[in-house]
Amino acid sequence: MPLNYDSTDSFSATRQEEFEALRTAHVPRYLFTAWTSAGELVHSPTGNYMPVTEYATTHLVPAGFFYAQNERSAQNVEGQPFYDQSEANLLVMANAHVNGQNTPLTEFSTWSSSLLGTLFHAASMAHQKEKKVHVTMVDRMRLDGGALFWHAPDLLGDIGSVHEYLAHGPVRGPGFKTATWERLIHNGLNKLVPKLKARTNDKYGQDLRANIFQDAPTQISDEDIATARQVAALFGDLEIPATIILLAMSPRIVTHETGNSKYLRLNELFQGLGRYRSIGELAEESWLNRKGRIYADSESLDIKEWVILLYSLASAISIRVIE
């Protein structure tokens, strides 16, 4: 059950358990966002101008928390822990956030489980000559900023987009990795996704993404793996999951196969990743082994592709079908 506008008290123990269960089951471990250094400014309650969200290569701080940390107003009610607030207050804030309103100051940031959609967003900003376009990837299990992530419909019900995830609080820590658009292109991103060079009025490239997945599935070649690893290296120690997700940005034969031929192709990928065995541990995580909720609808074929590829590889490693 999503946030309740009639609930004006802080969360009961039962409601907190419900929302914690949603976070565990419905939110991917890896999420993405694109941003530019030329951010929008809003007028804060004390008269100063401040960014809607403070983006940096090492962290992201929503406006409500940025204000709370920097102005220290005795009357400030922003920046409180999620469960210390009322559902009604959070619902108003989350609804304003997804509708692009600057008041109340948001304590949320927006994330996507589609790296491909995020890259099209970054490409759109780059085509518009935005300054210093960046792409950030997070491993939400390796953050230390206290941010809590939800699938937007779990907070907002039917008005929440199935393609959107909301994080409450500052996002930072070892699992926060950022690459500049220029470096991504330099390292070969356009080789993996040539359609990123196309200009489109849709900043998330939904039509182009759909076109990509109308093509026949292809093999993952050694060259594909080498290029993906070169691009993924820009995300530091998230290189291995980033590589797998990058390789799934077009339909792949391995995700449609069964039996020995599938395991043969998975083993080739495993060898190309340097036999990185810790991938197998992901097979036990509920967000991955309950795949249906993560990609949600027919417009999310790129998300479905990476979830299936990652799960197939992780489960094959965990049961030692591939070595």
Name the E strands within the chain. Answer: 30-36, 41-43, 49-51, 53-55, 59-62, 108-111, 133-139, 148-151, 165-168, 171-172, 176-180
**DSSP 8-class letter at 316:** H
Grade residue 234 by pLDDT with cuts at 50, 70 and 90: very high
Q: Which two tokens stand for residue 265?
A: 């192709």
Range of weakest confidence among 44-48, 60-64, 174-178: 44-48
Task: Give the per-residue pLDDT at 43.
Answer: 45
User: Residues in the chain, how many?
Assistant: 323
The residue-averaged pLDDT of 73-96 equals: 79
Q: Is the peptide bond before 174 cis (omega within 30 degrees of 0)?
A: no
So what's the pLDDT on residue 236? 97
Residue 7 has pLDDT above 80, yes or no: yes
Burial category of 109 from C-beta neighbours within 10 Å (exposed 0-12, middle 13-18, buried 19 and up): buried
Contact by Cβ (8 Å): 268, 282: no
Q: What DSSP designation does 212 have?
A: H
Amino acid letter at 230? Q
Q: Note the pLDDT of residue 53.
A: 78
147: nearest Cα among 273, 243, 252, 61: 61
Burial class (CB in 10 A: 0-12, 13-18, 19+), 9: exposed
Mean predicted confidence (pLDDT) in 123-147: 91
Helix/strand/coil percent split, the chain, to 5:
50, 15, 35
Q: Is the pTM of this model over 0.85?
A: yes
| Chain mean position to CA 165 | 7
Q: Is the pLDDT of residue 47 over 60?
A: no
Instruction: State residue 40's pLDDT score.
Output: 53
pLDDT in tens, 111-125: 999 999 999 999 999
317 CB neighbour count, 10 Å cutoff: 23
> What mean pLDDT comes out for the span 204-209?
86
* pLDDT at 73 exceeding the cut of 60: no
In the predicted model, what is the mean pLDDT of residues 94-106? 88
